[in-house]
Chains A and B, each alone.
Chain A
Amino acid sequence: MLSWSSGKIMHEITSEAVPSVDFKGIRCINNYSEICQDYSSYLCDESKLAHQGAKYLFFPTNEDELSAIFKEMNEKNVTVTLSGARTGLVGGAVPYGGAIVSLERFNKVLGLRYDTQSKEWLVRAQCGVTIRDLNNWAMKKTFPRLSESGSAETKAFLEKYKETDTTYFYPPDPTEMGAALGGTVATNASGARTYRYGATRNWVRWIRVMLASGEVLEIPRGKYFATPAGEFTIINSTGNETIVKIPKYVMPHTKNAAGIFSAPNMDLIDLFIGSEGIFGAITEIEVALQKWSNPISIIQFLPSDDKAIDFVITLRKEKSIRPELIEFYSSHALDLLRKKQTEDPKVVGMPPIPDYAKSAVFFDLQFDPEKKDNDYAKLKKIVNRCGSTLEMSWAGYEQRDLERFKNFRHVLPETVNTIIAERKKNIPELYKLGTDLAVPDYALEEIWGFYTSILERAGLEWVGFGHIGNNHIHINIIPRSLKEMKKGLLIYQKFAKKAVDLGGTISAEHGVGKIKKEFFSIMFSKKELKEMRAVKNALDPVCMLNPGNVLEIEEK
């Protein structure tokens, strides 16, 4: 992480007022039936959680308009649900009444610069820019509008950027590349590449946040830190001070998306990253780019799930091999895909999964296709030790191969969703039970053993897959009846408790939103939840922003 280079460390920050604009001039749909009829997609996200209606749907185009909306809603005592690309899986953008504020028009790239101290290329963009666009621009070195409307300094940096032989990319890869940058920062999104590059937090260097008051905080990384007593002071434009006391709990030593970030002497920017929009709307972000090197995607088939776990543990220990990601398909997952291949081979898009494959581990390594003497002897040894060979693998490095392999990684959750959708036709109350638990490295074997012994005894239909490199295996229970669903829910609770007991988290990447709060009490005590609530009350005293996200809605 960077440290602020041009000033002393501070504990106080001042929020700025933004120019006022006429609220009435802001585009708004203020008719619930019209919202339901013509703008229904703004009422849901990928979680498919049922909404509770909305009185207004706003489409601000800039911070001035957003501020006017916040002030007006604050005055009218109307809550605000922030809406980006609505790709979240925990209902964060699903309105529980009040107003929806869509930030989709905050879709411009604002700047590009090279930081000589950190030796990083940095891109500044508005929150509505998608991760797909950001990556395309970074890799193709063409940022729309910057070459015409950017400052002279930006234009000079852009020329320099184009001249470099190196290709750069933005490492966070939350699977859904249509996700808005702001949403990924607000949820500290992670994904397969988190194994090598960490979650979104690691790549955010600067943000602008609009608070519920309609004033803006500008927070570079490395400038504002908590006092030894764990406090920040926010001074508004009229000089009023607010003390924000950060929670005292210790965050799990795993990939984590549950709970407000807290650490001794923490950076203020980290309080907002992953806070799921309950403290403010992140409007602009500066992120760092990473050098791109050509990978080869490998799907290594193994003789059992236990051997796959063994393979991952050994691979992680071998420091000379540096995978970009390590992902997993369990034996049941491969069986489900074999079945899918017989029904619709095009969906899976791969040759028949070999009969000998009883488990699979996906990993990407750096690979130079021009090099004749690539040395993978150590990898071969590990593979052999785990009862397989490099012949028992699929591999590819051309762009079309990489895309094909990535699709293959995603086809399983899509297949599970299709099965559930089919079953819902007969039992509408049915839904998928998908875990998002992660544990520290030492506990991978133990948690896998725990999962499988309980699931096999229960006789449920299930698959295991996902980010095994971060000990973050998604278990999807696919209930065939309501009875099985109830059974599955109890099992999910058991898994969550076990993960937390092992030092892990109840939500490694999906966040908490509105639908994972039921697991919150497993991970946080009442006192700790109160500490989170205190931060919310300090930053958003009327609890206007994102009601129902992370924290329960308080009765007024």
Chain B
Amino acid sequence: MKIIICVKQVPEIMDITINPETGTLMREGVDSILNPFCEYAVEMGLDLKRRYSDIETVAISMGPLQAKSALMRCLEMGIGRAILLADMKFAGSDTWATAFTLAETIRTMENDFDLILVGKQAIDGDTAQVGPELSEILNIPQIMYAVGIDLIDNNKKVRVKKEIEAGNEIVEVKLPALISLSKGPMIGSVSSFQEILDARKKELRVVRASELTIDENELGLKGSFTQVVKIFPPQVKKTGMVIDGSEPQGAAKKLIEFLKQRKVV
């Protein structure tokens, strides 16, 4: 059985700074990480691998060469091998062009897959579109916002616990299928030092546009239906004082002093 996990590298920032001149993200001094929801998908893939025998796992990402580090994280966690789609021709891809390129890669190189796992959304764009688009292009069923997966019927089907507005729903679907993960384990796993060293010996293949059988007009900016015109941070409302909560006792003291000074308590 083969499980493919599609992942994305994102900037690890809480307060995004935008260059006012260019309208682009200021990435200086900002670390890039594996998107947390993608990490949940990786954790789920590895959990299935542990629980059921004979499962191959492959992580795929599209992005600049720096995105290798996000795939390296997957390999350290225990994923078997990884593919990075890196080419200037992919630059500027919107969600459709991204899904289309991923789909063509899977069709061309990993067509014997049984299950595709994705994070429900990336924390930078928050679109939650690539997963559903990928399943549409590949013409396979999709289940969104999963929180638990079991393989059933001799690994021919999956039983999925998914989030719905009022709680959870259990659904079953025949494989191949695509599932997006909403939540991971409360406490994320940690790799061993040996796993970190071994990951560097695993296959991490970089695939260029020329290795895919896609018309250039369907790649990157050319193949995108949408374009980002402008990015801007939400207007910050100066409505209060923020007390650093990293030291709860000190923070509580500051809060009490503040309230006392204003005769609130």
Contact = CB atoms under 8 A, between A and B. Distances in A.
Interface stretch (A210-218, A392-400, A480-488): A392-400
Contact of A399 (B31, B197, B200): B31
Contacts of A240: none
Interface string A372-406: 11101000000000000111111111111100100
A399 B191 CA distance: 15
Contacts of B241: none
A397 B31 CA distance: 12
Contacts of B191: 394-396
A349 interface: yes
Contact of B187 (A350, A369, A396): A350
Contacts, number: 75
Contacts of B31: 398-400
Contacts of A396: 190-191, 196
Contact of B186 (A140, A178, A345, A399): A345
A448 B172 CA distance: 58
B174 interface: no
B169 interface: no
Interface stretch (B112-120, B121-129, B154-162, B253-261): B253-261
Interface stretch (A37-45, A148-156, A186-194, A228-236): A37-45
A393 B187 contact: no
Contacts of A395: 190-193, 195-196
Nearest to B252: A41
B167 interface: no
Contact of A140 (B29, B193, B247): B29
Interface residues of B, number: 29
Contacts of A348: 187
B187 A345 contact: yes
Contacts of B222: none
Given A41-B253, A178-B247, A372-B200, A351 B194 contact: no
B73 A394 contact: no
Contacts of A349: 187
Contacts of B168: none
A292 to B, nearest CB: 12
Contacts of A317: none
B194 A400 contact: no
A374 B190 CA distance: 20
Contact of A391 (B29, B69, B194, B260): B194
A400 B187 contact: no
B53 interface: no
Contacts of A298: 193
A371 B201 CA distance: 11
A346 interface: yes
Contacts of A37: 260
Contacts of B188: 351
Contacts of B247: 176, 178
A390 B194 contact: yes
A345 B188 CA distance: 11
Contact of B193 (A176, A296, A351, A371): A296
B193 A346 contact: no
A159 B242 CA distance: 31
Nearest to A139: B29
A285 to B, nearest CB: 23
B23 interface: no
B49 to A, nearest CB: 17
Interface in A495-529: none
Contacts of B194: 389-391, 393
B192 A399 contact: no
A351 B186 CA distance: 9
B12 A399 contact: yes
A85 to B, nearest CB: 9
13 contacts: A140-B29, A296-B196, A346-B186, A346-B187, A369-B72, A371-B200, A372-B201, A374-B197, A394-B190, A395-B190, A399-B31, A400-B12, A400-B31
Interface of A: 37-39, 41, 140, 176, 178, 296, 298, 300, 345-346, 348-351, 369, 371-374, 376, 389-401, 404
